[in-house]
């Protein structure tokens, strides 16, 4: 019983849809999740927050979660923007940014003059017709267009309903330019691996808990981790018939997952 929860040393938690539902005014915690995070920390399990959140700097994001009652610090968060900055520096890339205004400070140290790549994040209200045309023109003007996408999510849930995520707009630019984007963030293997390294736990002893069947569960499983899907956030009953991804377990919410995991310790 609950074999999926045995021999665990570390947890990766998705944030939006697992800890809280985002939305106007900062969003609302999911019932039991504040306590669940505290219980993980008290248990001695290693913990990383592994998010594709790109609507804010990590500082601002963490502050919002702290305001909702979560015990979380910037140093515990693995997020796409810092990973993208490492790639930009390694490859001498100067980005044109199609991202949320609040994410721009993450790229403060990066040369953005005369861009030779485009970075797309969850730009939300910045996904205007004009901004998409501008990013497209930058790409189509390059001999070999380079598009770096901070995640490839299809959609997410906010308190006022489902919203298209960065992946949809990434696909629009990919199609228009006949190129393939490089994805930084979940479900990229490198992203999970850096979160595991930061935690110091091998994949076989780690569980990823998320609400996204493909990007959280499928991505983690491909790295050798267990993947557990919560029935909160963007979860839909049809996920349980997904043609390719079969989670190691379903749980009603994070609190239930932590109950089971701690019982097995």
Closer to a copy of itself by Cβ: residue 33 or 52: 52
Closer to a copy of itself by Cβ: residue 131 or 194: 131
Q: What is the distance between the alpha carbons of residues 151 and 153, in angstroms, rounded to a whole number?
A: 6
In the chain, DSSP finds a helix count (H) and a strand count (E) of 8, 14
Closer to a copy of itself by Cβ: residue 90 or 143: 143
**Residue 135 C-beta: closest distance to a copy of itself, Å:** 9
CA-to-CA separations, 189 to 118, 184, 185, 194, 241, in angstroms, rounded: 21, 9, 9, 9, 24
| Contact assessment for residue 55 and residue 151, using Cβ atoms and an 8 Å cutoff | no
For a copy of itself, the binding residues (CB under 8 A) are 124-125, 127-129, 132-133, 136-137, 140, 154-155, 161-165, 167-169, 171-178
**Residue 222 C-beta: closest distance to a copy of itself, Å:** 19
Q: What is the distance between the alpha carbons of residues 112 and 107, in angstroms, rounded to a whole number?
A: 9
Closer to a copy of itself by Cβ: residue 172 or 203: 172
Residue owning tokens 């490839």: 152
**Residue 162 C-beta: closest distance to a copy of itself, Å:** 6
3-state secondary structure of 210: strand
3-state secondary structure of 150: strand
**Residue 218 C-beta: closest distance to a copy of itself, Å:** 13
């Amino acid at each position: 019983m609950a074999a999926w929860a045995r021999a665990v040393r570390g947890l990766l938690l998705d944030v939006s849809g697992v800890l809280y539902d985002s939305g106007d005014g900062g969003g609302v915690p999911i019932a039991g999740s504040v306590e669940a995070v505290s219980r993980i920390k008290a248990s001695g399990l290693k913990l990383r927050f592994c998010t594709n959140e790109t609507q804010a700097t990590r500082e601002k994001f963490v502050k919002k979660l702290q305001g909702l009652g979560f015990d979380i610090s910037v140093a515990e968060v693995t997020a796409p923007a810092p990973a993208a900055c490492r790639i930009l520096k390694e490859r001498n890339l100067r980005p044109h940014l199609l991202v949320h205004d609040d994410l721009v400070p993450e790229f403060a140290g990066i040369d953005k003059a005369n861009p030779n790549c485009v970075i797309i994040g969850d730009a939300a209200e910045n996904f205007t017709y004009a901004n998409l045309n501008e990013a497209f023109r930058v790409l189509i003007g390059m001999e070999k267009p380079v598009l770096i996408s901070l995640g490839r999510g299809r959609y997410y849930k906010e308190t006022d309903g489902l919203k298209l995520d960065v992946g949809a707009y990434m696909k629009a630019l990919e199609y228009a330019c006949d190129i393939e984007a490089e994805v930084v963030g979940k479900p990229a293997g490198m992203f999970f691996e850096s979160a595991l390294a930061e935690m110091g736990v091998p994949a076989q002893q780690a569980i990823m808990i998320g609400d996204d069947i493909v990007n959280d569960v499928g991505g983690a499983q491909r790295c050798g981790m267990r993947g557990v899907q919560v029935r909160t956030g963007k979860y839909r009953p049809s996920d349980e018939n997904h043609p390719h991804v079969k989670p190691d377990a379903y749980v009603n919410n994070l609190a239930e997952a932590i109950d089971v995991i701690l019982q097995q310790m």
